[in-house]
Amino acid sequence: MSTLHERLAELAEDAPVGGALPEDLWDRGRRIARRRRLGTATIAAVACLALALVGVLGWQRGRTSVEPAAPGSAPAMPDQLYQPSGWLGSFGGSPGTLAAVFPARREHLLRSEAGIVGVSATTGRYGFLDLPDVAAGSDEVALSADGRRLAYWITGRTSGSPRTTAGDPVTGFAVFDALTGHTERVPIPTPHGLDPEQLAWSGDGLLLVEHGQWSGGDDDSADLQSTGRVMPPMTWRADRGLQPIEDRAELGVWSQSAGGHDWLMQVDDGDRRWAIDNLRTGEVWQMPQPNLAFEFPGPAISPEGTLLAGTHAGTAYSAGQSRTLSIVDRHGRVVMSVGGRATVALYWPDDKHLIAQRAVSADADDTALESLDVRTRRWTPVVTGPGVHTGNVSTQFAAFDLLAVPTRSAVPPPRPLGQRVVVGTSAVIVLVGGLAIVLWRRRARP
């Protein structure tokens, strides 16, 4: 009887004796170790370099070439507006006077959310505005003509079951002061949430608020959730708060005229008549409804309330389509019609000039703000850029008062690398680098 140890020891006696000792064993071992170290260090260095390149590229693309504004520099409209990136940074407080705002998806590493990008009128810088409780998906924002106040819809708590089919319920609006960074919330009591319709500024800080009330929340039937009541329009001003507008249940369009005239237009009162109403003086001018089908956004009213400008073509708005711009007087008579590229009438700086947005090509993003001299019928480009190009975006996206002063040469906003690209690329570099090191060390085995 023998043990396994003894049997293995016997078998081990058959092992080779090894012969002469290889003389260069020590030197070979050192050389192999050096090769492995050198290869590993090279791969690690290349990976670090690639990571540094990603970092530098991200920093380079994220930085803006805008020079800091000189103290006291006057606000001005840039001569071009650019479609902002969703990876832009935030202004982080008060951006100062805004030249324009854009709804944009604000991107994060694992999610994205609705956001508003502002363009500084003093520096030309682009950045997301920190708007507390901004309602997701609500593109209906309104920038005052002086570029100071931005009105937007907010979310909050409802008194009853909230209606969340379109996100958190809208429960009021807020006014962001771009000079101070202060936000004033104006809640509107609602059982289930508001159906936001329109926010629009007039020239002297008066805000028109139009909304509906949803009839049901998540706990109610689908029918109730999909129906609502149109509420009487209201006005808001910082010094007197929210006030209903009496006897004007069919409001259509809010004037954006310069000079602080609060013109309001009442449409289709049953007798095919419109009323132009100065909320400040109480003056009301009745006029026959023009035999024109003005499209959204509706006609803009001149400062003196004597002219209305709008577009009509009988077809939905689409960039590149030919649409007719018509100007009618207080008697509903067409005083001017201008055909041509797709046009949205926006703003009368005075009674002789109309600012409109016009498509410059078939590309819906390629638009320009142009000024029409109603006396000569000549168009003059003022600002090029994406502007508004769908019927769902407010026409009050720019500080139109700034068009009274010369524009400033625009600087393109940065196009930062997305965090997902940076993280994904870095992960791939680390992975490939690690794999290369493993493969190299295997290859460089003795």
Partner 1 sequence: MPGRDTFDAFVIARRGALLRTAYLLTGSHADAEDLVQVALLKAVPQWERIADHPEPYVRRILARESITRHRRRRWREVTAAELPETAIDIDPVDREALRRALLTLAPRQRAVIVLRYYEDLTERETAELLGIGVGTVKSQTRDALARLRLPGVVATG
- Contact residues toward partner 1 (CB under 8 A) are 1-5, 7-18, 21-22, 25-26, 28-30, 32-33, 445-446
Distance of CA 420 to the CA centre of its chain: 20
The CA-based dihedral angle spanning residues 46, 49, 50, 53, taken in that order and rounded to the nearest 10 degrees: -160
Evaluate the omega torsion of the peptide bond into residue 297 and state whether it is cis, within 30 degrees of 0.
yes
The CA-based dihedral angle spanning residues 72, 74, 79, 83, taken in that order and rounded to the nearest 10 degrees: 60
Amino acid at the residue 59 = W
- List phi, psi (to 5°) of 115: -155, 170
Shortest Å distance, C-beta 23 to partner 1 = 9
Q: How many Cα atoms occupy the beta-carbon half-sphere of 234 within 13 Å?
A: 18
Distance CA 226, CA 308 (A): 35
Closer residue to partner 1 in complex, CB, 11/110 = 11
Shortest Å distance, C-beta 441 to partner 1 = 11
Closer residue to partner 1 in complex, CB, 25/45 = 25
Shortest Å distance, C-beta 8 to partner 1 = 4
Closer residue to partner 1 in complex, CB, 33/334 = 33
* Structure tokens given for 326: 């018509």
Distance CA 242, CA 229 (A): 19
* 263: enclosing H helix or E strand: strand 263-266
Closer residue to partner 1 in complex, CB, 13/271 = 13
Shortest Å distance, C-beta 440 to partner 1 = 15
Shortest Å distance, C-beta 20 to partner 1 = 11
Shortest Å distance, C-beta 437 to partner 1 = 16
Closer residue to partner 1 in complex, CB, 30/377 = 30
Closer residue to partner 1 in complex, CB, 375/445 = 445
Distance CA 442, CA 428 (A): 21
